[in-house]
C-alpha cells in the first residue's frame, strides 16, 4: 500500500527544500514544476500541442517560457487555453510516477494543488508556511524578481491562510531544523496510520 501526500505552499514558503526533506526520509517525491520543464523541453509532450495552438511559443523544438509569458500578458484568455493543454499532460506524468514509484509514501510537490483540484487524488495534504514578511524577503533575496512581480504572483495564488486551513498538516519553514523536525513527525504519523490501515 502506498500513501499519497500532497505538498503545497505559496511562492517563497520553502516548499522545494521541504520536499527534499521528505525525500531524505525515504519518500518518493514528484515535482510539478520539474514535470512542466520536461513537458516543455525538446521532445516533450507539450511541444506539439503548444505549437499547434501558439506557434510563437515554440523555439528550437522546445516551449519558450519567455514567449509564453508574453502571450499570456497580451491575451487574457491564453492562460486558460494553455492550462487546458498542459494540465492533462502533467496529470499523466504524475500518474506514471505513481505507478512506478517504489516508496511507501509518495509526495506530490504541487504549488497549485488546491487551485487545480489535485487534492482529491491525495490521502492527505501538507502545506508549508511562514509569515508574510519573511515570505516576501525570501523571494526578493533570490534576485529573480522585483516586489511588483512577487505581489502579482502571490495574489494569483490561493491565500496562504486558506491553504493552511484546508491542509491536514501545516509545516512552518522558519528554520531548517524546525522544518525537518515537522517533516519527520508527519512521516512518522503517516507510517503509523498505514500500520493501522
How many Cα atoms within 13 Å fall on the side-chain side of residue 22? 32
Choose from 46-55, 64-73, 140-149 the range with maximum mean pLDDT: 46-55
Domain range for 41 is: 33-102
Q: What is the pLDDT of residue 194?
A: 92
Buried b (16+ CB within 10 A) or exposed e, 10-48: bbbbbbbebbebbeebebbbbbbeebbeebbeeebbbbe
Residue 61 shares a structural domain with residue 113: no
Q: What is the pLDDT of residue 173?
A: 96
- Angle at which helices 78-100 and 65-74 cross, to 10°: 140
What CATH number does the domain containing 130 carry? Answer: 3.40.50.300
- Out of 52, 72, 102, a domain closes at 102
Q: Quick one: pLDDT band at residue 156, thresholds 50, 70, 90?
A: confident
Residue 139 shares a structural domain with residue 173: yes
Residue 83 shares a structural domain with residue 111: no
> For 158-180, what is each residue's pLDDT tens digit?
999 999 999 999 999 999 999 99
Q: What is the pLDDT of residue 155?
A: 83
Q: What is the pLDDT of residue 48?
A: 95
Residue 115 shares a structural domain with residue 174: yes
Q: How many domains does the chain have?
A: 2
Amino acid at each position: 500500500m502506498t500513501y499519497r501526500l500532497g505538498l503545497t505552499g505559496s511562492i517563497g514558503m520553502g516548499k522545494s527544500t521541504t520536499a527534499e526533506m521528505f525525500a531524505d526520509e525515504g519518500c518518493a517525491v514528484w515535482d510539478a514544476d520539474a514535470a512542466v520543464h520536461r513537458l516543455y523541453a525538446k521532445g516533450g509532450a507539450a511541444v506539439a500541442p503548444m505549437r499547434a495552438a501558439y506557434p510563437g511559443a515554440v523555439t528550437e523544438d522546445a516551449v519558450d517560457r519567455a514567449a509564453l509569458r508574453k502571450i499570456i500578458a497580451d491575451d487574457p484568455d491564453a492562460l486558460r487555453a494553455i492550462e487546458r493543454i498542459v494540465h492533462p499532460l502533467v496529470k499523466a506524468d504524475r500518474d506514471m510516477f505513481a505507478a512506478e514509484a517504489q516508496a511507501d509514501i509518495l509526495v506530490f510537490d504541487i504549488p497549485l494543488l488546491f487551485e487545480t483540484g489535485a487534492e482529491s487524488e491525495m490521502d492527505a495534504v501538507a502545506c508549508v508556511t511562514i509569515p508574510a514578511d519573511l515570505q516576501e524577503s525570501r523571494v526578493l533575496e533570490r534576485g529573480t524578481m522585483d516586489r511588483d512581480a512577487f505581489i502579482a504572483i502571490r495574489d494569483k495564488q490561493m491565500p496562504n491562510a486558506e491553504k493552511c486551513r484546508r491542509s491536514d498538516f501545516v509545516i512552518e519553514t522558519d528554520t531548517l531544523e524546525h522544518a525537518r523536525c515537522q517533516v519527520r513527525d508527519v512521516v512518522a504519523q503517516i507510517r503509523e496510520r498505514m500500520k493501522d490501515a
